[in-house]
Each structure stands twice: as structure tokens, then as C-alpha cells.
Amino acid sequence: MLLCLGLTAYFVHHAINGRHGFEMRSRLIERSALLEFEIKSLEAVRAKLERDVALLSPQKPDDDLVEEIARGVLGFVRPQDQVLMRP
């Protein structure tokens, strides 16, 4: 009788706290949800980058996008632009 009780306690403990137990399952579900959210955000970034690449195609680049990149990345301005310096 005592042996059965001990074995039952052992298996119940590992069913809850073991490597494949209920607690690990709930942690895996939470991690899966976080990774799904990260996948969605990365897919949005990828879609934006694909759109930008399509607009910069060698056949006919989008003039506005080229100017935006030149201003933002390279720091170019037009002669008539007023530049405000941040402290």
C-alpha cells in the first residue's frame, strides 16, 4: 500500500513539474504566443522593406523615396531648406 502511494506521488509530481509536465506546457504556450507576436512584427518589417526595394527598382526608382533616403541617411539638404540643429 505504501509502495503504491509512493509511486503515485512520484508520477503525479513528475506529471506536474517534470520536463514534459503541465507547468512546462504552460510555459511553452506562453513562449509560443510571444514568438507568434515577434513573427507578425518581423513580417510587417519585411513587407515594408520589400515595398522599398520594389520602389527602388533600377528600371524606374521612385523619386520621393530616393530623396527621403538621401535626406535621412546621407544628411543631404536642398539649398533653400532651413536646418534646425538639436542641442
8 A C-beta contact, residue 66 and residue 76: no
User: 78: which DSSP letter?
Assistant: -
User: What global pTM score does this model have?
Assistant: 0.53
Q: What is the pLDDT of residue 24?
A: 85
Q: Residue 3: what pLDDT?
A: 85
Candidate from 3-7, 29-33, 63-67 with smallest mean pLDDT: 63-67
Q: What is the residue whose three cell numbers read 506521488?
A: 9
**pLDDT of 23 above 80:** yes
pLDDT digits (tens, 9 = 90+) for 29-63: 999 999 999 999 999 999 999 988 888 777 877 78
Question: How big is the chain, counted in residues?
Answer: 87
pLDDT given at position 49:
92
